[in-house]
């Protein structure tokens, strides 16, 4: 494993604390380069953090959930219903469901860090709301765009966010060129090398986009070739189920490679390529 490989906690630090909860994210922030979380959209357009489309797996022991909510999809619930739910772990500790906007706006330690926040979009309907939220975070000066890696299995999500990324880069380039012309009185800027360096800084401040692929998605799409499947899309990270790592040897690696879910060094000991990103239930085991 390369020393520059980023280690992200899977749903926080899922191997130690209940997934997609604040204590889990907090612990992951303390021992890794960031964390991954999962997003669904509520009926009133709130971005809800949860892996499954329902809360059945994590809230089945909660009386309120059992009596009023059980088996209802997140997309059919309002926030004032969701916020009453208690997620309960194996030793009966209770946690509240998180919404993404509150997490990003109210967690000062996350804002002050340089942690990478991997937002996995489970529901394609999240895309527009999520894009607007990230632009709001940027405009408020809370986060730079490059703090976010938006990933998904869904092609329409990948296309949406790569298009948004292109818009951001175009705006950055236009703004930079305008400032350059203003600075030199519409004459050619004599600091060409400086221009290139500064422009690269602008390029670095953009949302990253990650295409997630595993055996299940290839089977679902009836595609036998990883290369054939991914060549239709534009992205920055190819995030592979660890079982597919052996299939990237003959791919032109013009993008970064990530993998999931890696919980032991043995899971990747035979990997022949450089890994830029590892998502783990136990990121503390991979501390650089």
Q: How confident is the model over 250-288, as pLDDT tens digits?
A: 666 789 999 999 999 999 988 888 999 999 999 999 976
Residue 69 lies in a domain: no
In a domain, 83, yes or no: no
Per the model's pLDDT, the better-predicted residue between 202 and 233 turns out to be: 233
180 located within any domain: yes
Give this prediction's pTM: 0.91
Q: Structure tokens of 236? A: 């920055």
Asked, for residue 89, whether it belongs to a domain, the answer is no
**Residue partners of 73: CB distance under 8 A and separation at least 6:** 53, 54
Whole domain around residue 242: which residue ranges?
A: 6-56+101-286
Answer yes or no: is 62 within a domain: no
CATH code for position 255: 3.20.20.190
Average pLDDT over residues 238-254: 84
Calculate mean pLDDT across residues 192-205. Answer: 50
Model pLDDT, residue 183: 54
pLDDT in tens, 40-97: 999 999 999 999 999 999 999 999 999 999 999 999 999 999 999 999 999 999 999 9
Residue of 239 and 180 predicted with greater confidence: 239
Inform me whether the pLDDT recorded for 185 exceeds 90.
no
Residues whose CB falls within 8 Å of the CB of residue 241, separated by 6 or more in sequence, listed in order: 213, 214, 215, 216, 259, 260
Residue 196 has pLDDT above 50, yes or no: no
Position 252 scores a pLDDT of: 64
Per the structure, the count of domains in the chain is 1
| pLDDT average, residue stretch 12-22 | 98
Each residue of 135-171: pLDDT tens digit? 999 999 999 999 999 999 999 999 999 999 999 998 8
């Amino acid at each position: 494993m390369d020393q520059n490989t980023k280690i992200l906690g899977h749903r926080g630090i899922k191997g130690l604390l209940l997934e997609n909860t604040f204590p889990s994210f907090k612990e992951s922030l303390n021992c890794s380069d960031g964390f991954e979380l999962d997003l669904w959209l509520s009926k009133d357009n709130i971005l809800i953090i949860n892996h499954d489309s329902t809360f059945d797996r994590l809230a089945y022991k909660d009386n309120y959930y059992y009596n009023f909510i059980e088996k209802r999809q997140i997309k059919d619930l309002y926030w004032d219903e969701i916020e009453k739910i208690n997620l309960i772990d194996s030793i009966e500790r209770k946690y509240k469901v998180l919404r993404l906007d509150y997490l990003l706006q109210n967690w000062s330690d996350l804002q002050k860090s340089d942690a990478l926040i991997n937002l996995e979009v489970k529901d394609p309907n999240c895309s527009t709301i999520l894009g607007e939220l990230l632009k709001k975070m940027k405009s408020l000066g809370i986060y730079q765009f490059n703090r976010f890696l938006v990933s998904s299995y869904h092609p329409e999500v990948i296309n949406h966010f790569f298009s948004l990324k292109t818009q951001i880069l175009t705006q950055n380039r236009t703004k930079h060129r305008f400032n350059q012309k203003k600075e030199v009185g519409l004459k050619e800027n004599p600091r060409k090398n400086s221009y290139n360096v500064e422009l690269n800084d602008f390029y670095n401040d953009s949302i990253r986009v990650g295409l997630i692929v595993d055996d299940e998605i290839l089977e679902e799409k009836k595609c036998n070739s990883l290369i054939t499947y991914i060549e239709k899309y534009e992205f920055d990270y190819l995030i592979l189920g660890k079982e597919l790592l052996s299939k990237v040897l003959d791919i032109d690696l013009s993008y970064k490679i990530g993998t999931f879910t890696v919980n032991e060094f043995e899971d990747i000991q035979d990997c022949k390529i450089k890994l830029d990103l590892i998502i783990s239930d136990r990121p503390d085991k991979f501390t650089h």
